[in-house]
Amino acid sequence: MHAKPVKLAPSILSADFANLGSQVAEAERAGAERIHVDVMDGHFVPNLTMGAPIVQSLRPVTRLPLEIHMMITDPDLFVDEFSEAGADLFLVHWEGNNNLSRTVQRIRALGKRVGVVINPATPAAMLEEILPEIDQVLVMTVNPGFGHQHFIHSTLPKIRRVRNMIEQIKPGCDLEVDGGIDATTAPLVVEAGANVLVAGSAIFGHPEGIAAAMKLLAASGS
């Protein structure tokens, strides 16, 4: 459906935190285009994960963009902190945001790139008004909050709808997918129109190592 090259965004949620720096560096050497950081507050999703200090510790380790997936109740309260820590791109959810446009504008004012995330049950049409203001859309292909979930196949038609909206409203906007992405599901989402793949356990948990996993994923998504 599109000619964009596929970009890989390893999610450190599945990394070995005792060796986080070396694993991120290995992912960079293996061709990662960005590093995906899942931030959860235990309220927006039923899990609690990393904060700005993790981002700050990663910043000297990699030259890759650090994208922050903000699965938190009020992202406005944390944007400055993560920006100062070295974040390059913020992904904020459509769901539960009192004023999404204001949040997007605030992130823009910091000189950062910004994307909007929609959960599996959120219709693609909800993006229509905000799409001109953003750099990226992230379609969740699992319900957010945990790693190691199974891909929800009913999200594929929505990925196609979002790709069509992007081509009509803002060509050049990235379309990212996150959840259950591996060598089996990657071809499905790329065919549907995705050009950025988030993968956690398929990269950091692969028995043959990070480089081999990324090579396999890149080949399956091409």
Q: Which of 32, 36, 38, 35 lies closest to 8 in space, CA to CA?
A: 32
115/174 Cα distance (integer angstroms): 9
Of the residues 16, 38, 80, 182, which is catalytic?
Answer: 38
Helix then strand count (H, E) for the chain reads 8, 8
Instruction: Give every CB contact of residue 102 below 8 A, 6+ residues apart in sequence.
Output: 76
Q: Which of 41, 174, 178, 182 is catalytic?
A: 178
Do the bridges between strand 89-93 and strand 113-118 make them parallel or antiparallel, or are there none, so unpaired? parallel
Q: Is residue 178 among the annotated active site residues?
A: yes
41 is a catalytic site residue: no
Gap between the Cα atoms of 160 and 149, Å rounded: 22
Among all residues, which ones are annotated catalytic? 38, 178
